[in-house]
Structure 1
Amino acid sequence: MKNTSKIFFFLLLVLVVFACGPKKDTIIRRNYQALVTKYNVLFNGKEALNQGIEELNENYKDDWFERLPIEPIAFEEDKIIAPTFSNGPGTGFNNTNNSDKKPSTPFEKAEEKAVKAIQKHGMNINGIERNRQIDDAYLLLGKARYYQQRFIPAIEAFNYVIANYPNANLIAETKIWRAKANIRNDFEDTAIESMKLLLIIKDTLEADWSNEIKEKGYTAMAMAYVKSDSLQKAKESLKLATRTLDNTTQAARNLFILGQMYADENKKDSASQVFKRLVNFKKAPYKYRIHANIELARNTSNDSTSAIVLKTLDKLIKDRDNRPYLDELYYQKALLHERNDSIGLALSNYKKSLRAKDGSDKQKTFTFEKLGNLNFKDAKYQLASAYYDSILQISTDSLDLRIRRIKRKHKNLASLINFENIVDKNDSIIRIASMTQEEQKQFFEGYVAKIKKADEDAAQLRLNQLAFGNSGNSLGSSKKGSWYFYNSQSLNFGKTEFIKNWGVRKLEDNWRWSDKATIGGVKENVENENLVNARYDVNTYLKSIPSRTSTIDTLKLDRNQALYELGLIYKEQFKNNDLAIKRLERVNKLNPAKELILPINWHLYQIYNNTGNKDKAAIHKKVILEDYAETKFAQIINNPNADLKEEIEVSEVESTYKDYYYLYKDDKFEEAVTKINEYLPSIQQSELLPKFELLKALAIGKYKDKEAYKKSLEFVSVSYGNTEQGKRAKAILDKLTSK
């Protein structure tokens, strides 16, 4: 009896399955296949698709310093995946070569489910699809391929829906997805036309589309206009897309991008209106609302509104929920203070931005740049250089124009800082060397006392942190606990301190006795003691003081040369006349080398003359005219109003330079010099002028005496000291002088 029942139920099941198969068109079969397709295969496929989209959103990081992309997906621009064609109706899924391959991503799983729905549950009978869920399967198939960056196969799937299901309730959404795929395939014109046809001309029987479809359609149209650089039309599309805000996430993004576009055009009032709307959009994701507040502060147009914005920023900073955004909030607050000339408050908030926990590296580069610029403006060049160096340490985008500009600025500061360090160091050594022995001893006794106290304080603080668990995880201690002997760093530090005080001793009773110090590792003990004592030994420093007159004279010469170079850098590169005068006037009083006297007086004469200080200019003018009357500098002073012809095109100047260079190479030195002298008055504004002057000097050196050669090189090195030609002339001059 039992066996009979089992056989009966089995046959009944087979009958039901056979009766519900997709091969014949009956009401039961249609509803059964639609039910299984929707709530089994498509449900799992859509879940996989949503999972993949969530992963994309989590991994995508917006760059809030740039205009956001409308669709937050980072596709690989150079990635091209060829379509797979088949015997099927435009789907490319009948190829069985990879049938055994399991999906490795959520999007591959979604595609697999869509294909399964079409292949196993499709009811294409006599050219008509009877399963009403198959159009959803094709749409899912296209979306899955879109997110895999397979845009051509995606378009193929979307086109199949549009061609075969023109009256489907998802036809509008399918056309929008096809437009997005066309945009990604660089067919933005096609996408624009299709969206105009859908939204404006209305190419279906629908009288009007839902708000959701309008938002998606105008968003896709905005994407196409952005891709084609039609930003004005993109703005119009975004305004239409944000008339309603049903899709809260995309609507918030559209509003933010619209505000950014207005800000890029310097339409601050329009931008502020959009960002205020976003701030008041309570359903929007919080990251858009907080950055809308930041953008409102950035687009503040006058001082009266900046006070209100500062209060808003203070309120946001106090809110604990805004901790992840503190670096940006403090930075924007600092910008407002800087704009209001409250430099002290600006500096304070920039530094708070840097100290904010979990601040982004890109934000730090902007903050370091602001700090560097403020210090540069205040002539604190060494501190400015340190900030610029910090940018280069953390920046990874070496092609960014801003980073390249900072790199050049940092490079220019490097030589200045080197010369400043030479001046400081040599001044200190010369000052100490000029003291009496008793004064030197007192000086270094005070110095040793200071470093001992500093070392003891640092050691005690370190021991407190390591021994009592304050360092915890921040120092990478063991997870076993915070006890002293569980922490390898505290043990190593304690061992070092022990050896410094006691030396290397055997593990035995009475180890502290003085005679035990020689047992076991005498050499190590002595070396460690010598290492420590040398730093605290006054005699170590006293022995290092130079006593030979020749050594001290060399230090003075190097210092004077550094002072001259600094004066030149401040004058030519940084246009800081005050610091240039300070350095040049100082070296002028320090008995500089003979070859520096003329250039020092020439540069001081130029600075004072250009700044209207005629009395000071006259002093240096007198030195040049009386002591260096035969130089070209004296000739320029005597004939300052010589007529100069208009600047000639660079290409013509380069061509002329080549002609004169070939004269030089052909040993026609006198002819080259004559022609250069005739040509120079016409190119006084040209960037190539130093090249002609150096070529002239080199030619003079070939047929005139050594003194004439040195004078011509001297003119080039002084007049164009910061150019490549000026540096080369100086190098040649140094070699001639040393011979």
Structure 2
Amino acid sequence: MKLSLKTILLVVGIAFIATNCSRKKDTFLSRNFHALGTKYNILYNGNIALEQGKASINDAFTENFWELLPVERMQVTDEVILPGQSKNADFERAEEKAIKAVQKHGMNIQGKEKNPQIDEAYLLLGKSRYFDQRFIPALEAFNYILYKYPASDKINSAKVWREKTNIRLENNELAIKNLKRLLEQEELEPQDLADATSILAQAYINLKHKDSALQQLKVAETYTKNNNEIARYNYIRGQLYNEFGHKDSANMAFDKIIELHRKIPRAYYINAHLEKIKNFNYADGDKLAYLEYLTDLEEDRENRPFLDKIYHHIANFHLNNDKDSLATVYYNKSLAKSKIDKVLNTRNYATLGDMSFDVAKYKTAGAYYDSTMTNMKLNSKPYRLMKKKRDNLDDVIYYEDIAQRHDSILNLVSLSEEDRLAVFSEFTEQLRIRVEQEKAKQLEAEEAAKRQNSGINQTIPGQKGQLQKGGLAQTSSGRVVPGKPGGNGKSNFYFYNQNTVSFGKNEFLKIWGERDLQDGWRLSDKRGGDSDSGTEELIAEATDEELFDPQFYISKIPSDPKVIDSLTKDRNFAYYQLGTIYKEKFKEYELAKNKLQRLLQNIPEERLVLPTKYNLYKLYILLNQTGEAEAIKSDILANYSDSRYAEILRNPESALASDENSPESLYEKAYRYFENQDYTKAIAECEKHIYTFEGEPIVPKFEILKASARGRLYGVKAYEEGVNYVALTYPNSEEGKKALEILNNSIPLLSKKQWYDNDSSSKFHVVYQFKRDANEDVDAFIKRLNEKVEKVTYFDLSTSKDVYDENTIFVVVHGLKSIGGAAGFAEIIGEDKDEKDPIIRPYFSISSGNYTIIQRHKNLEEYIQSQ
């Protein structure tokens, strides 16, 4: 009976709870039952999932402290998310919990929500979608709170989150308007106020109103209680103050971060120190105290993860104090520590490249610039600027090599026999010392290898797994296998011994020098390194008897006047090119001036003197050296009064760049001859102006035009010779690069001479020949021919006058469909009895493809004989 009563009471109790906790009944018990279940079960787990997702975002996000930090630490990607998909499982779970809370515990009775936790559920729903970067659905969730729950205690938070979402959707003006209204009309909780002002600052930053952002970040930093947010807002304030040039205010913001020390992530703390370091005043600051400050940061064990940046700033300190060697050491230490910071790598490599460039180590600078570009975003503006700088460096490297090498040779040429003997005696003595040192190192390495090998493989009785004599190891089962490096074992394999490897590397460099890893590395033109490779090659070619004999090297000095003259001309031209490159491309006016002054000291050929003096005049003006500028101007006006440079100096305001005597106008004139098929005049014009403007950038354009005209007149062989000359003589100009491309890609196609089969062709011509010296009126013939052609309506015919060679002109009828039809057309117009003046003249018919071949190869006779 008792058991039965308990059962009845239990059933009644369950029925009572079930009926009174219905989502459709507005009772005290029902409201609190669903509110407690929502808050302490579903929303609790949902908020845990949300925090886990936010933590994973923070862990995956890499701050770029080199640029202005975003107010919110979240990386927005362009990845497209389809409906029903999620980027993060934690946010997906948080969203599911929020939806479950609404569906299972929502009490929408007569249009009003009776569960006070449902607005929290919608807020969780919006946040989970926001952090999952589904901003449109997130905006819907926040707007639903504002629409459905105007009396909610979370209404201000929902407004703040809505504007954060608007900013992510680039509705910055709307966000600013709504946030201003919120701040004016509502009294916000401290954290809501901090959130509202911080995102208002982000909207101002997005719209480039950075001065307005500063005050909002100050408010946000004051009212937030989150130390990470305090550090972040102050860091952004410091960055903005630096942009405005207010270094003292910036340092005060960074000091607030430093004061937090262990309360914030180490990255904020270290980068605040580094930003203060960047603001150091080198003119008036205490450099000794500054160096001690840097040293303390370097030696702090806790700063090891940030040594790459610390080394970079130490390097900058030494560079600013003209201690280039120390700066180079620290830049390289920074590179060794830096693995993923591409901005830091870019700055290190670019600075090292500039340092090498400043001391004329152009090949080294080029290598550093190549490394710089590998760390930059492809096709970005900084990348394009660096690539242009690197491409320009090719010209510098090329001409500096010529200048240095030829200067050395010509200096030796100018020495007396006694001086030459003294120079090479000293050289061979130094070489002897170097070889002896290398031999000593070799013996030392061999002795070290013997000592190491003699102690190898001594197995202790009773132990297995030790390396046996001869580089063999014994396994636990007793089987003997080849030994391997590492562990407790050793091996006498060559590459396992660091001493022998180092010796081998030095020996290779001594014999072969720097070599690129590619086929044909033994060839002399594959040698890398600097411009002294000629000496190294000479050493490699010398026999043991010749190696230390000064007379061997003296015998290699050129004595032929033609060779010496050629070296002098090449050297002078290289100096002129270097002067113009430094002036026009790099704006290195002092370097340009030194090169051009050196050129005039070398007494160059006359054609280089005037452009060199004019360029020097322009450089003196740029360097504010008015006395030197006036002197050289007077020289030009007095000794070259009829030149275009003198005319420019007399009338500096006139637009002489486009007058009839400017290089551009003269080039256009030569090109018009080319277009009109007057190839002989085009060639003559080009040759004249190549001589006149030698050393100027326009000369390669004349050369390539000349090559094209010669190709049209004399055939593909002449074209190949001309293009090859341009590629070899002007390899670093745009025309030289284009010429090389033509040689590699176009010439092989143009060189094909195989005749086309007439049956496979669809276009044919009738060709009439004329001799230039026959005094025949070609234009009158073309006029008569056109009258005949106009009467032919069943073909779309046309005529042209083509130059074949310097003695022959073709008049061509185009538009015929077969070889027989072409011959028949010529016969018809030559036998037209109804016409008083039929065209009776020798002709030949030819397909379009074969006509192209005879024009390229000038092999008309060969074609006639083949028909």
* TM-score, normalised by the number of residues in structure 2: 0.60
Aligned to 1:299: 279
1:449-485 deviation line (CA, Å, top 9, x unaligned)? 67666777788999999999xxxxxxxx989725235
Number of aligned residue pairs: 623
Aligned to 1:18: 18
Aligned to 1:490: 496
Q: Offset of 1:704 from its aligned partner?
A: 6.0
1:27-63 deviation line (CA, Å, top 9, x unaligned)? 3332222222222211111111111111111111111
Aligned AA (2:100): K
Distance 1:494 1:336, change over 3 A: closer
1:481 to 487, 498, 501: 487
Q: Offset of 1:250 from its aligned partner?
A: 1.9
- Is the contact made by 1:110 and 1:140 (CA closer than 8 Å) also made in structure 2? yes
Aligned to 2:752: none
- Is the contact made by 1:605 and 1:617 (CA closer than 8 Å) also made in structure 2? yes
Aligned to 2:126: 142
Q: Distance in 2 between matches of 1:348 and 1:495?
A: 25
Structure having the larger proportion of residues in strand: 2
Aligned to 1:71: 72
Aligned to 1:683: none
1:381-409 deviation line (CA, Å, top 9, x unaligned)? 343333222212x3241233333222212
Q: Distance in 2 between matches of 1:731 and 1:306?
A: 65
Aligned to 2:804: none
Secondary structure, counterpart of 1:149 in structure 2:
coil
Aligned to 2:210: 231
Aligned to 2:371: 390
Correspondences of 1:275-674 after superposition (within 5 Å): 275-282=254-261, 283-301=263-281, 303-305=283-285, 307=287, 308-341=289-322, 343=324, 345-356=326-337, 358=339, 360-392=341-373, 394-422=374-402, 481=487, 483-485=489-491, 490=496, 539=543, 559-560=567-568, 562-574=570-582, 575=589, 576-577=591-592, 579-581=594-596, 584=599, 588=603, 597-602=605-610, 604-606=612-614, 610=620, 635-636=643-644, 641-647=649-655
Aligned AA (2:299): K
- Is the contact made by 1:324 and 1:359 (CA closer than 8 Å) also made in structure 2? no
Q: Distance in 1 between matches of 2:450 and 2:236?
A: 53
Aligned to 2:189: 210
Aligned to 1:243: 222
Distance 1:560 1:634, change over 3 A: farther
- Is the contact made by 1:604 and 1:620 (CA closer than 8 Å) also made in structure 2? no
1:159 to 143, 149, 159: 143
Aligned AA (1:67): L
- Is the contact made by 2:366 and 2:390 (CA closer than 8 Å) also made in structure 1? yes
Q: Offset of 1:167 from its aligned partner?
A: 2.7
* TM-score, normalised by the number of residues in structure 1: 0.70
Aligned AA (1:61): T
Q: Relative to structure 2, which stretch is displaced further, 39-48 or 451-460?
A: 451-460
Query: Identity over aligned residues, as a percent?
Result: 28
Q: Offset of 1:376 from its aligned partner?
A: 2.8
User: Which consecutive unaligned segments of at least 5 residues does structure 2 have?
Assistant: 457-482, 505-538, 583-588, 711-720, 727-867
1:486-534 deviation line (CA, Å, top 9, x unaligned)? 9996299999999xxxxxxxxxxxxxxxxxxxxxxxxxxxxxxxxxxxx
Aligned to 2:690: 713
Q: Distance in 1 between matches of 2:452 and 2:269?
A: 41
Q: Distance in 2 between matches of 1:486 and 1:119?
A: 75
Q: Offset of 1:577 from its aligned partner?
A: 3.9
Aligned to 1:695: 668
Q: Distance in 2 between matches of 1:453 and 1:602?
A: 57
Aligned to 2:199: 220
Aligned to 1:501: none
Distance 1:563 1:452, change over 3 A: farther
1:131-172 deviation line (CA, Å, top 9, x unaligned)? 222111110000011112222211211122222322322221
Distance 1:423 1:35, change over 3 A: same
Aligned to 2:531: none
Structure having the larger proportion of residues in helix: 1
Q: Which structure is larger by alpha-carbon Rg, 1 or 2?
A: 2
1:61-80 deviation line (CA, Å, top 9, x unaligned)? 11111111111212135747
Alignment of 1:191 onto 2:175: yes
Q: Distance in 1 between matches of 2:48 and 2:126?
A: 15
1:169 to 141, 148, 153: 153
Secondary structure, counterpart of 1:242 in structure 2:
helix
Distance 1:243 1:600, change over 3 A: same
Q: Offset of 1:713 from its aligned partner?
A: 1.8
Q: Offset of 1:116 from its aligned partner?
A: 0.8
Secondary structure, counterpart of 2:386 in structure 1:
helix
- Is the contact made by 1:419 and 1:566 (CA closer than 8 Å) also made in structure 2? yes
- Is the contact made by 1:333 and 1:349 (CA closer than 8 Å) also made in structure 2? yes
Aligned to 1:39: 40
User: Which consecutive unaligned segments of at least 5 residues does structure 1 have?
Assistant: 83-97, 203-207, 469-476, 499-534, 589-595, 626-631, 658-675, 681-688
Q: Distance in 2 between matches of 1:145 and 1:638?
A: 73
Q: Distance in 1 between matches of 2:642 and 2:488?
A: 77
Distance 1:582 1:34, change over 3 A: same
Distance 1:382 1:465, change over 3 A: farther
Q: Relative to structure 2, which stretch is displaced further, 486-495 or 280-289?
A: 486-495
Aligned AA (2:379): L
Aligned to 2:793: none
Q: Distance in 1 between matches of 2:86 and 2:174?
A: 35
Aligned to 2:232: 253
Q: Distance in 2 between matches of 1:345 and 1:373?
A: 15
Distance 1:327 1:555, change over 3 A: farther
Q: Distance in 2 between matches of 1:618 and 1:354?
A: 50
Q: Distance in 2 between matches of 1:166 and 1:615?
A: 82
